[in-house]
Chains A and B, each alone.
Chain A
Amino acid sequence: MATEFHHALVIGASSGIGEALARRLAAGGALVALVARREAELNRIATEINELCGEKRAFPFVHDVLDREAVPALFEEVPRTLGGLDLVVYASGVMHPVGFEEYDTGKDIHALEVNLLGAMAWLNPAAQRFNRLGGGTIVGIGSVAGDRGRSGNPAYNTAKGALGIYLEALRNRIHRRGARVVTIKPGFVETPMTHGMKGLFWLITADRAAEIILQKARRGTGTAYVPARWRLVSWVIRAIPSWLFRRLKV
């Protein structure tokens, strides 16, 4: 049965897919809590949404996902502000360009913190709440890039790969009582993250990505590639044996 969302929380809502999701959710009538680090951006987006909708539907919360200790209190506050919570999306993500000869542990840890640890900090209480209440949908934005370890972006691949595993585990943990966990693996999406990158193909807008993601979230799909043709790409890439993969420049 397709679920309509009425109260949503989007972490990483100040740009890219998170922003597009927040805008779409609000336009569809949902009250949305927008969590992001950049206050000015966040407030601008919230104001725009509210003006567009003609009523207050966006509720901004300034928060840095590195500040994991602040999450439990903030997470408790959100449903009370919105009057409910049936969707949590973790869309925060960062991809640092890695130079050919660059081995920067600090950068790698940062990538793990934003892409993975922040997700755990937010989605753990979300899973606990939804499991307790016997309903609700969690969406994590993984990546096609998490399906294979590539020479070009080790930390990003690791973080997104681990996020995929974590989301799968979460799904298996809480599905019994009705809560759902959706792993989204987008291909190339036009966002600040991919801005200026070369060699992108099948590029879709963040809004189109958000549209597909919400479709999948409503259905409670387990893992969804966005758009779906990336499933085939991923299948091919995963099927390449390691000895061959290391010789390819993908």
Chain B
Amino acid sequence: MTPSVVPPSAPSVVLSAEGDAAERDATARDSTASGVEDSESEDSQAGANTPAQKSTLTVAGTKKLFSPERLEWVPGWGQAVGAAGYVFRPSTLEALQGVVDLAEEKDVPLTLRGAGCSYGDAAFGPEGVVVDLSRLKRILSWDPDTGVLEAEPGVTIRDIWRYTLGDGWWPAVVPGTMFPTLGGCLAMNVHGKNNWARGTVGDHCLDLDLMLPSGSVQTLSRQQSPELFHAAIGSFGQLGLMTRIRWQLKKVNSGLVEVEAVPAKNLVEMLTLLDEAKDRYEYCVGWIDAFKGGRGLGRGQLHFARYLQEGEDSDPQQTLRLEAQDLPETFLGIVPKSILWRLMKPTLNRLGMRLTNAAKYASAATLDRGSIYRQSLAGYQFLLDYVPGWKKAYLPGGLIQFQSFVPREAAEGVFRGQLELCRLRRMPSFLAVLKRHRADPFLLTHAVDGFSLALDFPVTSRNRPRLWALVREMAELAVAAGGRFYPAKDAAIPSDLYRQSFAGGELERFAEIKDRLDPHCRLTSALTQRLLPDGFLEKATS
């Protein structure tokens, strides 16, 4: 066993989104408060911290990296995968530095975590030390003239837009939920419904401070160190900890977007309409009824949206107010949203979802056909937040998402193959989403000039092995066509296929950079161990 000591820097309490977690941590703190007295003597043995750091550290936590009070179940967002981990939630940079230094000293690997919104295993490491950065959430500066925001990594997308919208600025790129942290979004380099128009979250990062496992901090930008900048963003937290981020937001004239809903009879029509619309609209996203086979395979509905021009919104001051952005609290005006996931649960089976998808398509093809309406920015963007806690309806097994990114010409064949495979294996996706993407300069990017199809699957103890096998089959189709995958979503792609998806030696270059920045592989995660196992990162460079 590794004897471990945490300097008094170790953070203590924990404000967590979940009440019970906070309570648990409060208890943890109580029980450990008495355990700090001998930390000083052990600390003096350690003696590696600089006096400057030490003076700012407060005694509040436990004295070990692996103290049982820190043990928590750390799940992936989809809840189909997760692991126990020793969780640290530093609230200051000094405390963070304390954990990083201690891990360096004790040679213990760390896994970085933001809001835990990655579907799969990106933000936990089995039985390891997890550094949750969600309490480092200060907005450091904001310029309402230029729309440049400087923030700590734990600031969430929600925090940001609620802060900036009053000045008429909206994040240029947001994912489908507002709860991820900015640091997490950059680490996974997420995209939104406007990936074609605006690229990824990383495309709007001006510069960032990266704390290396050695404890030193480097500032990265396109000008200063383009190679590292483009490698760190989208490195799923394997090169360093982003401690300060400067992000460029987008000026908007209104709190509304204008949305157009268009039905599509089959996959070809979906892809064609999406491709035609990509330059005319800011946001383009397609929903597919994955239960439909035969000639209607790939049928669905597209939503295109654009920002309003100046003057189109007669009262922008009103629509830019936060109250105008709040998602409704009830469904159909009467059903409280908080119980909606419970009502969803009985429908979360093949029959229920077949009917739901069919009904949605029927409505798209008739009532919604060609409808044009205005919707709040938040209401349009954060579709995943519309039903709070909806993932709970997938319990106890949870869900996974498989999303593959396929070059434009090959997309139809690959997606047709994937949708048919799902039907053939009798595991049709409950929710299928189509998007248009563009290539970007980030080293481990998932995006290609083409389309992506995201497929949600429920996980049960019975279907699990078959589902994982299905993911392999679908991934094989994507890889053969030059496709890519998305670590933010992934829980099940096999290592060999992930590696094959980087045909241009990107992974070898990544391994070489990793060796320079993190020679002892101190940053790790279940995702890294799965996708790049057997010391790939070490071997590639030796």
Show the binding face of A for B, using Cβ within 8 Å. 1-4, 73, 76-77, 79-80, 82-85, 128-129, 132-135
Contacts and interface: CB of A to CB of B under 8 A. Distances in A.
Contacts of B460: 1
Interface string B114-131: 000000000000110000
Nearest to B69: A132
Interface string B2-43: 000000000000000000000010000000000000000000
- Number of chain B interface residues as a range: 10 to 19
29 contacts: A1-B396, A1-B397, A1-B460, A1-B461, A2-B461, A3-B461, A73-B1, A76-B66, A79-B84, A79-B127, A80-B1, A80-B66, A80-B127, A83-B83, A83-B126, A83-B127, A84-B126, A128-B68, A129-B68, A129-B71, A129-B84, A132-B24, A132-B71, A132-B73, A133-B72, A133-B73, A133-B84, A134-B73, A135-B73
Nearest to A81: B127
Q: Which has the most chain A C-beta neighbours within 10 Å: B1, B73, B127?
A: B127
A84 B460 CA distance: 20
Contacts of B72: 132-133
Contacts, number: 41
A121 to B, nearest CB: 15
B461 A133 contact: no
A82 B128 CA distance: 12
A84 B396 contact: no
A235 B1 CA distance: 47
A80 B108 CA distance: 12
B126 A76 contact: no
A76 B2 CA distance: 11
Nearest to B67: A76
Given A79-B84, A129-B68, A4 B461 contact: yes
Contacts of A133: 71-73, 84
A84 B83 contact: yes
A34 B397 CA distance: 29
Given A129-B71, A133-B72, A133-B84, 8 more contacts: A76-B66, A80-B127, A84-B84, A84-B126, A128-B68, A132-B73, A134-B73, A135-B73
Contacts of B73: 132-135
B83 A77 contact: no
Contacts of B66: 76, 80
A134 B20 CA distance: 12
Contacts of B24: 132
A73 B4 CA distance: 13
Nearest to A129: B71
What 10 A-B pairs have minimum CB-CB distances, sorted nearest first? A133-B73, A83-B126, A80-B127, A77-B1, A79-B127, A84-B126, A1-B461, A133-B84, A2-B461, A134-B73
A154 B126 CA distance: 44
A86 B84 CA distance: 10
Interface in B69-97: 71-73, 83-84
A190 B68 CA distance: 39
Contacts of B84: 79, 84-85, 129, 133
A82 B127 CA distance: 9
Interface in B180-225: none
A135 B126 CA distance: 15
A236 B434 CA distance: 65
A84 to B, nearest CB: 5
B492 to A, nearest CB: 15
A6 to B, nearest CB: 10
A84 B71 contact: no
A230 to B, nearest CB: 28
A4 B1 CA distance: 28
Nearest to A3: B461
A73 B397 CA distance: 32
A214 to B, nearest CB: 14
Interface string B372-413: 000000000000000000000000110000000000000000
Nearest to B68: A76
Contacts of A82: 127
A132 B28 CA distance: 11
A77 B66 CA distance: 10
A82 B84 CA distance: 12
A76 B4 CA distance: 13
A132 B83 CA distance: 12
A155 to B, nearest CB: 33
Given A129-B68, A133-B72, A76 B396 contact: no
Nearest to B86: A80
A225 B66 CA distance: 38
Contacts of A84: 83-84, 126-127
Interface in B41-75: 66, 68, 71-73
A163 B226 CA distance: 64
Contacts of A1: 396-397, 460-461
A4 B397 CA distance: 12
A219 to B, nearest CB: 11
Contacts of B396: 1
B419 to A, nearest CB: 28
Q: Which has the most chain A C-beta neighbours within 10 Å: B66, B84, B397?
A: B84
Q: Which has the most chain B C-beta neighbours within 10 Å: A83, A84, A85, A129?
A: A83
Contacts of A2: 461
A82 to B, nearest CB: 8
